[in-house]
Amino acid sequence: KDLITYVNENSEFDIYVVQIELYKYEDYEIVIPKLYGAEAKKDVGSRRPQGKVWTWDLLKERLLCEYGEQEVTAAQQIIEWGEKNSIKISWSTSQRGGFIPCFYTDSRKGFYPFGITGTGKVEWNAPHQENKAPSPFHKRENRAEILKRLQHIRGASVDLDNVDGYSGLRLPLRVLAHKDAQDTFFSVCSWIKEALKVGAC
C-alpha cells in the first residue's frame, strides 16, 4: 500500500490494487472489493516543467497556493535554520518540488534523512541511502533513533517498523509552524549534525 501511494503521488503512473473479501453464508457468496491507490493526490501536472530546479520563490508560490501561510513559514524557517547551521539546501528537480537539507561529515560525505516537499510535508528520505549513509547512520538502529526522536512531535506520523521504507515519517509542514514542534524538530537536526561529527550516537 505504501509503494502504491508513493508511486501514485510522485509519478505519471496510476497503480490500483483491488483487495477482495469473500464471505459465504449458506448458499450465498458475498464479495466486497476494496480499491487502493485512488486516494493518492496526483502531483504530476504542476505548472513547473519537469527537470527544472526548484527555487524558494517557486516552492513558496506552490505552498501558498495549494496549502497556506503555515506551510510557507515552516519551510522558510527550515531553510533559515539550515543556513545558520551550515546545512546545505539541495533543491529538487522533481515535479512535486521541494528541497533536501544535506548534513555533511567533516570528510564531506552527505546524509539526507528527510526532504521537504511541495506536497506540504516533511518526508522520510533515509531509505535513499540506507546502509550507505555515513557513520553512525549506516546502522539501521541509528536511523531508527532519528524517527524515535521525531515521534515526540505531536502531529508526526512515525512508523518504527518502516525505517527503511519511505513511509517511516509523515510530518505535515503546518505542524512545524508551532514553536514546540519546531524546537523538537531542530533539536533532532542538531543531534544529527553532532552525531555525524563524532561518528557515533
Q: Which residues, given as ranges, of the chain have pLDDT below 70? A: 11-13, 38-51, 200-201
**Total-model pTM:** 0.73
Distance, CA of 42 to CA of 51 (rounded, Å)? 17
Task: Give tens-digit pLDDT for 29-64.
Answer: 888 888 777 665 554 444 444 557 899 999 999 999
pLDDT at residue number 39: 60
Q: Which residues pair with 36 in a beta bridge?
A: 17
Name the strand (E) or helix (H) holding 31.
strand 28-36
Which among 177, 174, 176, 124 is positioned nearest to 147, based on CA atoms?
124
Distance, CA of 71 to CA of 4 (rounded, Å)? 25
Cell numbers at 14, concatenated = 496510476
